[in-house]
A and B are shown apart, each in its own frame.
Chain A
Amino acid sequence: MMERINTEVVIIGGGIVGASAALFLSRRGVPVTLLEAAVCGAKASGVNYGGVRRQGRPLEQMGLTCRAHELWAQLPALIGTDGEYVRSGHLKLARSEADMTALETYRQATRGHGMHLRLLDRAELNRHYGWLGEEVIGGSLCPDDGHANPRLVSPAFALAAKAAGAVIRESTSVTSAVHDGRHFIVRSDNTLEVRASYLLNCAGAWAGHFAEGFGEVVPETSIHPLMMVTEPLPLFMGVSLGMQGGGIYARQVARGNCVIGGGRGLSADGNYARPGQNDIPALLGKAASLLKPLRGAQVIRFWTGVEGNMPDHNPVVGPSRTTPGLFHAFGFSGAGFQIGPAVGEVLAQLVADGHTDIPIDAFRIDRYAAAAHEAACPGHPFREQTLEAS
């Protein structure tokens, strides 16, 4: 028996993006049904590093990231939990003078966005972060960036959306999505059919497939950032760490475990990924040399996730160019956790108001059409920095 649901908005994907869109729409009284193949917040949104940082993002993301920063401050009101979110500071480290120059250039370029970046030399690092390895010569601190627990935050967005009235269907994989000229018809095999006026494509690493179904071919690929966590250690690291140019990032949670990322996992079958054996030694080595208190500690788990990646490391966010009523939000390229809530809000605005004040033109889906790509992407200086997981 095919179950049928008629609604205003149907969302594919219950990651932090789809779930927060559902939340903001429901709060505005818009009927919404969200379909999630697994359980909400169990994919990239639930297994990521948990970095909640603005520093290092490309300039195009400033609008989204600053709005997200405000939303993160309201987390308990928004989703009923603080999600272990702390504004610990985010320290981006430099290993060379060239790195320091890059950090300074970035500081100049992002002035006025409220990040209050402060450059620190080695002597200052020694004063506050004496546990850092010798290879680091300085860094840039963003005092109000921080980190949170993705396992708690992302499912909570879906639970909050449900509480606000959204219909959430888990274990419901969308097998077809079409527009019949009047409605979107979204099906999960022969068991469920949802009709809606709007469709939000928030299917993460799998979203490109749906875009293609609507005639919008995108170069979305998958990446699988490698993560590990140590046993609980005495607290030593307040800040969340990043590295200019990527390579390793690290934070310590209240319980004492250090969460560390760097390198890549391997795709298992498209749906899953697993830690890559050959990247593990490199990550161990980097962690041991960057964080002195880790020497002698044990690693208790490696893991990875499946994340959508775009060639320019900016997401696709905004209206379809082929199908009115369809909006895309995917391809966050390793850094969508922090901006996820703002993206959800923007999607809700696009549906309910028809527009948003947040600049999203750089995230147009057709930017890869050869000429458009050149125009949108003129050899951007901060490109590589967007990746949490570079």
Chain B
Amino acid sequence: MNSTRAPLQPVIIGAGPAGIRAAQALVAAGLRPRVLDESARAGGQIYRQPPAVPGFMRAPATLYGFEHRKASRLHRLMAELAPNIDYEPGSMVWNLSDGVLDVLRDGVSRQVPYQHLILATGATDRVLPMPGWLTPGVYTLGGAQVALKYQGCAIGSEVVFMGTGPLLYLVAYQYAKAGARVAAVLDTASFGDRLAALPGLLRAPVLLAKGLYYMAWLRRHGVALHEQVRPLRVVGTTRVEAVECESGGHTLSIPCDALGYGLGLRSETQLASLAGCRYAYHARDRAWLPVRDAAGRSSVSGVYLAGDGAAIAGADAAELSGERAALALLQDMGSPVDLKRAGRLDGKLLRWQRIRDALERAFPFPEVWADSITDDVMICRCEEISAGTLRASVAGQGTQELNRLKALTRVGMGRCQGRMCGAAAAEVLARACGVGPDQVGRLRPQPPVKPIPIHMMVAMPAAAATAASALGASTAVSAKAAKSVERTVDLSQGGQP
């Protein structure tokens, strides 16, 4: 890039806590970032807002509980930023390469050039199947929560929550508060785990207090809490009828009509991979994650990582890391940066790392999971690939690597492209090979990050990019110019760029 030209508008992908804070820091420095977010409204996963239509209006306190102040603050902040950012909700970034994003919005795909990119793409549930998990009425914990926050409905009227992690008790609590009957909370972690984690958790007294409050509240309201359970199966044919688990040497069978099930989250890192970022295995998250420095710089110059999309650290850490990544970006652009502020953020982020370590100890990943599922359990539901098929590939074809497993068995080849089944497949593969999950590699993502319609319209890109860099006045002006020269071509009419 010619240094006499003004730099392009920085782009932020994701309008969750991380993305919003990043935008705020860039605006404060006088820039006008472009914020692309797949959701219809800002807030990300935790502060997800219901559709902006009358029937859906519910008070923040109802929606977000203890977090409602934080939620309202972020939503308000986003509204304040509006005049100074180009915010594009409903925009899915489906591909990226060499400084150009492909962005689908309202059926039209546009190319957005970038020089500086903050990836704040968040996380989704880590799906670890068990017998019966495909029975209608089984949801992930996060999915159960999305139903509540976004659609204002519960997944069932008599719900069991099972798995482990802070979200387990939180979602159970939110359901009970919303009026659903919570039949039981079944935690795979033990009291011992919690005890071992206590010193670490004391670093985050508020978090700890909230967790204890949820548990106490649930108990007080007659919800059975079981620890150290081993999930056995979901019972039911056309609909969940009961959930079975082993607890203290007994089999518990709890009648219910829905199950919220979750064992942690997984970072949404496909775009970082397409950007060419280097990855390393992250033992705590049991996942390959893009490498970043403490400030959020990836291995690719101009690409920054923040929030749960970089590593699972929760919403508060996401806010901090979003701001921190923006400061790193500003610093790298040669803009003056409040170094004291950066230092403070670094300190806080480090503290959050320790808290995460403690949380992971309190709610550890059930190491026995991969052994505990029988051959007939479906791992990849798009392609209907069972654990037995994966194990057979290891035994019969000597498969030892995840992409190879994908090629030979079709696991991860369906609509989700491994975003949902990849973590489980890696665990099963590693176990079958007798190695750790760090030894089986990671799925190499290909575009599109999520399915795209074959019939979308494609906007003409090249002219826009050239015009934007040639104009070179303020970034705001060049971005507007870039937009005005975009032309759309309807491919259904046979037109081609």
Contacts and interface: CB of A to CB of B under 8 A. Distances in A.
Contact of B446 (A135, A297, A302): A302
B347 interface: no
Given A287-B454, A300-B415, A281 B448 contact: no
Contacts of B111: 277
Nearest to B401: A39
B368 interface: no
Given A277-B100, A282-B496, A288 B407 contact: no
Contacts of A255: 383
Interface in B454-497: 454-456, 458, 461, 489, 491-492, 494-497
Nearest to B109: A281
Given A277-B97, A300-B448, A46 B407 contact: yes
Nearest to A291: B454
A39 B454 CA distance: 33
A286 B398 CA distance: 40
B321 interface: no
Interface string A86-120: 00000000000000000000000000000000000
B102 interface: yes
Interface string B435-454: 00000000000111001111
B401 A230 contact: no
A131 interface: no
Interface string A275-291: 10110111011111100
A255 B100 CA distance: 34
A301 interface: yes
A297 B102 contact: no
A39 B404 contact: yes
B454 A301 contact: no
Contact of A300 (B404, B414, B458): B414
Contacts of B496: 281-282, 285-286
B188 interface: no
A295 interface: yes
Contacts of A282: 496-497
Contacts of B398: 159
Nearest to A266: B97
Given A281-B458, A281-B497, A288-B492, A159 B451 contact: no
A231 interface: yes
Contacts of A278: 461, 497
B397 interface: yes
Contact of A288 (B397, B415, B461, B491): B491
B451 A285 contact: no
Interface in B392-419: 397-398, 401, 403-404, 407-408, 413-415, 417
Interface in A290-310: 294-303
Nearest to A287: B454
Given A277-B102, A284-B454, A284-B456, A151 B408 contact: yes
A371 B410 CA distance: 49
Given A42-B404, A155-B408, A298 B397 contact: no
Contacts of B415: 231, 298, 300
Given A39-B404, A277-B100, A282-B497, A298 B446 contact: no
Contacts of A152: 408
A274 interface: yes
Contacts of B492: 285, 288-289, 295
Q: Which of B95, B398, B448 has the most CB of A within 10 A?
A: B448
Contacts of A299: 448, 451-454
B114 to A, nearest CB: 13
B454 A300 contact: no
Interface residues of A, number: 35
A28 to B, nearest CB: 24
B454 A155 contact: no
Contacts of A42: 403-404, 407
A219 B110 CA distance: 38
Contacts of B102: 277, 280
Contacts of B456: 284
Nearest to A260: B454
A297 B100 contact: no
Contacts of A297: 453-455
A7 B165 CA distance: 57
Nearest to A289: B494
Contacts of B403: 42
Contact of A274 (B97, B452, B455): B97
Contacts of B494: 135, 285, 289
Nearest to B398: A159
B495 A300 contact: no
A302 B447 contact: yes
A289 B490 CA distance: 11
Contacts of B383: 255
Given A284-B458, A285-B491, A300-B414, A277 B452 contact: no
Contacts of B417: 300-301
Contacts of A285: 458, 491-492, 494-496
Interface in A256-285: 266, 274-275, 277-278, 280-282, 284-285
Q: Which of B102, B404, B415 has the most CB of A within 10 A?
A: B404
A49 to B, nearest CB: 15
Nearest to A231: B415
Nearest to A133: B494
A114 to B, nearest CB: 33
Q: Which 3 A-B pairs rank lowest in CB-CB distance, beginning with the nearest?
A: A285-B491, A298-B451, A281-B458
Given A289-B494, A294-B454, 13 more contacts: A151-B407, A231-B451, A277-B95, A280-B95, A281-B489, A284-B458, A285-B495, A288-B491, A295-B455, A299-B452, A300-B417, A301-B413, A303-B446
23 contacts: A42-B407, A152-B408, A155-B408, A159-B397, A230-B454, A231-B451, A266-B97, A278-B461, A280-B102, A281-B489, A284-B455, A284-B456, A289-B491, A289-B492, A295-B492, A296-B453, A297-B453, A299-B451, A299-B452, A299-B453, A301-B446, A301-B447, A301-B448
Interface of A: 39, 42, 46, 135, 151-152, 155, 159, 230-231, 255, 266, 274-275, 277-278, 280-282, 284-289, 294-303
Interface of B: 95, 97, 100, 102, 109, 111, 383, 397-398, 401, 403-404, 407-408, 413-415, 417, 446-448, 451-456, 458, 461, 489, 491-492, 494-497
